[in-house]
Chains A and B, each alone.
Chain A
Amino acid sequence: MNDCQNVEIREVLPELVHGTLPAAELARVQQHLVACDDCAAELAIIRAVLGSAAVPALNVERIAAAIPPYRRRQLGMRRAYLELAAACLIGAVGISTFALHNARNSTAPVTAGASAVATQGLALVNTSDLSDDGLAQLTRDLDKLQAMPTVDPESVTPAALEDAAEPATPAGDSA
């Protein structure tokens, strides 16, 4: 392979490959390439070099130079807006929690009552730790409880159970 004497054409072959050649010059180079085997061969080499690049070369210096210098962002008003937004958010969460808590207390009286009974029931379990006054208070509290079963389980005798299980006497038997 020889070097073409038209250095001007050879100089722009990389631009031709990268597609950065102006249209007018492109036509001129194309015309030359049709007739010049040396330039055509050199162009093929350039493409082969590009094709043989295992890893695209990175021009780190150029990339670094293209990055604009760091400037601290002005947070004056922006910071104030952010603080205001944070305060509003915290307030909204607090109000929502309070409203939810109130709504639960007002719409679930049965649950509240059951909770009280359960609490007092738990108190019965730990009577060993109570003083005399505590026991007296507990007794008074138990007296106040209204959520007692209407039927005392001990009042259900075996005889009563048998009566309940006995089938109704057919009407014809009494006749």
Chain B
Amino acid sequence: MVATVEEGDAVTTFDALDTMVADESMVRVRQAVETLSQKQREVFTLRLEQGLSYKEIAELVGSTEGAARVHYHNAMRAVKEFLDDE
């Protein structure tokens, strides 16, 4: 059977994983974000919650596009490590 990709599938395909992470607790994820440095948290939330590009984030936080990208990936790595350690 060949699955067709339709608009909206992107946010529904991995519901199982979503549920798994959600069941681990949204509180833990929030705790993980709170462990980030101020700059990392700022870039991380702007990127994920606002959906801003690195260029837009760099303009908002007074940084460069490359620095914003590094902050984001460092933040993501830190969140993963926090969740793995739990």
Residues in chain B near residue A3, CB distance under 8 A: 73, 76-77, 80
Question: Which of A1, A29, A30, A47 is the one whose CB lies under 8 Å from B83?
Answer: A1
Q: A47 CA to B84 CA in the complex, in Å?
A: 17
Q: A30 CA to B44 CA in the complex, in Å?
A: 23
Are the C-beta atoms of A53 and B76 separated by less than 8 Å? no
Residues in chain A near residue B83, CB distance under 8 A: 1, 45
A69 at the interface (CB under 8 A from B): no
Residues in chain A near residue B51, CB distance under 8 A: 14-15, 17-18, 20
Are the C-beta atoms of A40 and B60 separated by less than 8 Å? no
A33 at the interface (CB under 8 A from B): yes
- Could you tell me the distance in whole angstroms from the C-beta of B75 to the nearest C-beta in chain A? 10
Q: A90 CA to B20 CA in the complex, in Å?
A: 72
Residues in chain A near residue B80, CB distance under 8 A: 1, 3, 41-42, 45
Residues in chain B near residue A42, CB distance under 8 A: 76, 80
Residues in chain A near residue B21, CB distance under 8 A: 41, 44-45, 47-48
- Could you tell me the distance in whole angstroms from the C-beta of A71 to the nearest C-beta in chain B? 25
Please, how many residues of chain B have a CB less than 8 angstroms from a CB on the other chain?
A: 37
Interface string of A22-48 (1 = CB under 8 A from B): 010011011001100000111111111
Are the C-beta atoms of B14 and A43 separated by less than 8 Å? yes
Question: Contacts A14-B47, A14-B51, A49-B49; is A44 near B18 (CB within 8 Å)?
Answer: yes
Are the C-beta atoms of A44 and B14 separated by less than 8 Å? yes
Q: A48 CA to B44 CA in the complex, in Å?
A: 13
Are the C-beta atoms of B17 and A30 separated by less than 8 Å? no
Q: Which of A27, A40, A44 has the most B CB atoms < 10 Å from its CB? A: A44
Within 8 A of A (CB), among B1-29: 5, 7, 9-11, 13-14, 17-18, 20-22, 24, 26-27, 29
Mind listing 19 A-B residue pairs with CB under 8 Å?
A15-B51, A16-B10, A16-B11, A17-B51, A20-B51, A27-B5, A30-B10, A41-B17, A42-B80, A44-B18, A45-B21, A45-B79, A47-B11, A49-B33, A49-B48, A52-B33, A57-B46, A57-B50, A62-B52
A binding-site residues for B, Cβ under 8 Å: 1, 3, 10-11, 14-21, 23, 26-27, 29-30, 33-34, 40-54, 56-57, 59, 61-62
